[in-house]
């Protein structure tokens, strides 16, 4: 009864915030495509029921199954577009094929002040010019438009990851270089070949499927001391932002030779090069994979599964590894994995040209950018999912535990919609709850106060207060942003050839007889040089152009 009363009170509060133009609309169902695998929300999901009752909107979700580019290609060929369209890491495909409307036809300071205020500080990065020279915005970033100082309590992006139990077993060492990392894995595996159930551990996994082949390709740039720029290395200290592909350079050879050594030492399984994403997540969720290179958001489902199973020692720590000096002519490389705050350009929901009610979606988003709705999406229902004490947003241990439970989420959070929608992030800067965080996982009282005991003891052994302490603080964002966000379409053929050669030959290099490695590497460089040259030269020009746009030159 108390929960029902709480929900009714919240509904009454929100009703007063919704314009009559929305509240009186006929009920509709919006079709939604997400370019990632996901879980269907439960029919009784309380947040979707709030949305339906206040906006008259229901959602019909489709999540990615299979190859993203193939799926998008089929949709483009048949012009079979959903109302809300998230193209994931291939959003350029749907934009360049005319699948999305220009949101600036509906978003402006007068009619949608909340949405405009949200994008205005980063409009130089977000608003582009179309072929006719008109301003266009196809997607409001789903992440990265933050308020206040950047909050980094844990690494949510790229890193070399290792299970906490491996570091604990080794006496909580500081691991900073490539050799130290693989020595750690090798030593643990030699002493602990199986888990308590007798299942063999896997030393190091490499996900290669589809666009997630970044797990195979991207580590080199980070070992060289740079944050994520996709498939190029940018010298931010050069006046012209010298940009080059890195995969074909001598410094890349050192990484794949190290993987070749690890493969023949039994750390890497042949299966890693043929497994799909679901199989990869299943392996991580079982707790048998000791380490991998990935981005934390990419294996969030595995982390949740491990937490649900109380397998805290099998969850992962992000390490910012760099090359040992012996690999880079004796130089000491400074680690930079975490970049300055950056909008997730061209990532999130766009509205398709097939949608019959774009005005209604924009009006709904405008209202959902209110503090009240953002609290609902992030924190839930007051008195049920969180409580307020002396102006602080807080959760009990039970509330925080249920928030991290995967089954609870499908009944009580609107993640399938909210993850791809515009949202507030960072600090709450104004109003009744100023000084709190939008995301409960960033709230100071929760970061450590409601952390499980294993993690508290683990951090205490290192003298750290948060897991982001394992890497250096964020560096200043380069003027061009991050190069992976640049549209590759003008060199699409060369870029695809560049990727295809890597996808085929890098696993071959890792698995080949060590005696054949040098010759096969030379063959790889010879084959990839034409496409690498074309792609690298294009990216250099594009990086300069993007920097000039932001700098106003």
**188, 210: one domain:** yes
CA distance 352 to 86: 10
What pLDDT is attached to residue 210? 86
In a domain, 444, yes or no: no
The residue range of the domain holding 289 is 158-337+458-551
C-alpha dihedral over 521, 218, 534, 532, to 10 degrees?
Answer: 0
What pLDDT is attached to residue 89? 87
**195, 320: one domain:** yes
The radius of gyration of the chain from alpha carbons, rounded to an integer in Å, stands at: 24
**205, 261: one domain:** yes
**237, 330: one domain:** yes
What pLDDT is attached to residue 342? 81
What pLDDT is attached to residue 24? 60
In a domain, 139, yes or no: yes
**377, 420: one domain:** yes
CB 182 within 8 A of CB 207: no
**544, 524: one domain:** yes
CA distance 421 to 85: 10
In a domain, 445, yes or no: no
What pLDDT is attached to residue 201? 98
**117, 186: one domain:** no
How many structural domains is the chain composed of?
A: 2
What pLDDT is attached to residue 17? 47
What pLDDT is attached to residue 21? 44
Scored b (16 or more CB within 10 A) or e, 48-80 reads bebbeebbbbebebeebeeebbebbeebbeeee
**134, 168: one domain:** no
3-state SS class at 478: strand
Looking at residue 297, which CATH number applies to its domain? 3.40.190.10
Which of 436, 471, 506 is a domain's end point? 436
C-alpha dihedral over 425, 214, 466, 301, to 10 degrees?
Answer: 80
CA 78 to centroid of chain Cα atoms: 29
In a domain, 447, yes or no: no
**304, 216: one domain:** yes
Q: CA–CA distance from 242 to each of 245, 279, 489, 540 (Å)?
A: 11, 39, 21, 6
Per run of 10 residues, the mean pLDDT along the chain (length 553 residues) is: 45 47 77 94 98 97 93 96 95 95 97 97 90 94 92 94 98 98 98 97 96 95 97 96 97 98 96 94 97 96 92 98 96 95 91 98 98 98 97 95 90 97 96 96 90 95 96 93 90 96 98 98 98 98 92 73
**175, 119: one domain:** no
Which residues is 317 bridged to in the sheet?
A: 162
Which of 436, 468, 484 is a domain's end point? 436
In a domain, 289, yes or no: yes
What pLDDT is attached to residue 20? 39
CA distance 435 to 148: 10
Give the strand pairing for 316-319 and 28-34: unpaired
In a domain, 487, yes or no: yes
pTM for the full model? Answer: 0.83
Which of 436, 467, 490 is a domain's end point? 436
In a domain, 81, yes or no: yes
- Across 359-431, where does the E strand assignment appear? 387-389, 392-394, 425-426
Q: Hey, how many other C-beta atoms are within 10 angstroms of the C-beta on 115?
A: 22
**323, 348: one domain:** no
**74, 212: one domain:** no
In a domain, 450, yes or no: no
Joined tokens for residue 540: 């250099």
Reference 195, options 260, 111, 289, 125; nearest CA is 289
């Amino acid at each position: 009864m108390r929960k029902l009363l709480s929900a009714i009170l919240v509904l009454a509060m929100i009703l007063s915030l919704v314009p009559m133009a929305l509240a009186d609309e006929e009920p509709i169902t919006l079709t939604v495509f997400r370019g990632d695998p996901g879980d269907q929300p439960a029919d009784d999901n309380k947040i979707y029921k709030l949305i339906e009752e206040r906006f008259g909107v229901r959602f019909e979700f489709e999540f990615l199954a299979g190859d993203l580019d193939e799926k998008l290609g089929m949709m483009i060929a048949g012009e079979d577009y959903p109302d809300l369209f998230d193209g994931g890491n291939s959003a350029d495909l749907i934009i360049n094929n005319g699948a999305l409307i220009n949101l600036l036809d509906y978003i402006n300071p007068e009619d949608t002040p909340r949405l405009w205020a949200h994008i205005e500080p980063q409009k130089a990065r977000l608003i582009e010019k179309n072929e006719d020279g008109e301003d266009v915005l196809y997607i409001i970033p789903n992440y990265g438009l933050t308020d206040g100082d950047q909050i980094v309590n844990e690494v949510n992006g790229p890193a070399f990851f290792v299970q906490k139990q491996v570091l604990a077993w080794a006496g909580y060492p500081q691991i900073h270089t490539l050799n130290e990392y693989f020595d750690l894995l090798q030593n643990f595996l030699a002493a602990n070949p199986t888990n308590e159930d007798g299942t063999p551990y896997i030393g190091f996994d490499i996900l290669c499927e589809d666009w997630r082949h970044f797990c195979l390709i991207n580590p080199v740039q980070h070992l060289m001391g740079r944050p994520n720029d996709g498939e190029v290395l940018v010298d931010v200290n050069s006046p012209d932002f010298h940009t080059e592909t890195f995969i074909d350079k001598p410094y890349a050879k050192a990484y794949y030779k190290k993987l070749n050594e690890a493969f023949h030492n039994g750390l890497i399984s042949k299966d890693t090069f043929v497994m799909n994403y679901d199989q990869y997540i299943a392996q991580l969720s079982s707790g048998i994979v000791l380490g991998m290179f990935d981005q934390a958001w990419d294996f969030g489902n595995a982390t949740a599964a491990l937490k649900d199973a109380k397998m805290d020692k099998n969850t992962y720590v992000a390490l910012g590894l760099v090359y040992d000096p012996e690999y880079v002519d004796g130089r000491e490389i400074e680690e930079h994995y975490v970049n300055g705050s950056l909008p997730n350009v061209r990532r999130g929901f766009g509205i398709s040209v097939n949608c019959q009610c774009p005005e209604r979606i924009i009006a709904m988003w405008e209202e959902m950018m209110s503090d009240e709705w953002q609290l609902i999406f992030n924190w839930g229902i007051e008195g049920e999912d969180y409580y307020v004490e002396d102006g602080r947003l807080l959760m009990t241990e039970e509330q925080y535990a249920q928030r991290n439970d995967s089954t609870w989420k499908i009944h009580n959070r609107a993640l399938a919609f909210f993850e791809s929608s515009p949202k507030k992030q960072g600090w709450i800067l104004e109003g009744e709850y100023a000084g709190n965080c939008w995301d409960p996982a960033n709230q100071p009282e929760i970061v450590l106060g409601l952390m499980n005991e294993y993690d508290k003891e683990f951090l205490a052994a290192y003298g750290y207060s948060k897991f982001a302490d394992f890497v250096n603080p964020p560096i200043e964002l380069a003027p061009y942003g991050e190069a992976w966000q640049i549209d590759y379409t003008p060199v699409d053929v060369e870029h695809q050839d560049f990727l295809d050669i890597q996808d085929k030959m890098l696993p071959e290099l890792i698995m080949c007889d060590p005696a054949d490695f040098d010759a096969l590497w030379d063959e790889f460089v010879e084959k990839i040089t034409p496409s690498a040259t074309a792609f690298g030269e294009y990216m250099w020009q594009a990086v300069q152009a993007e920097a000039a746009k932001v700098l106003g030159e």
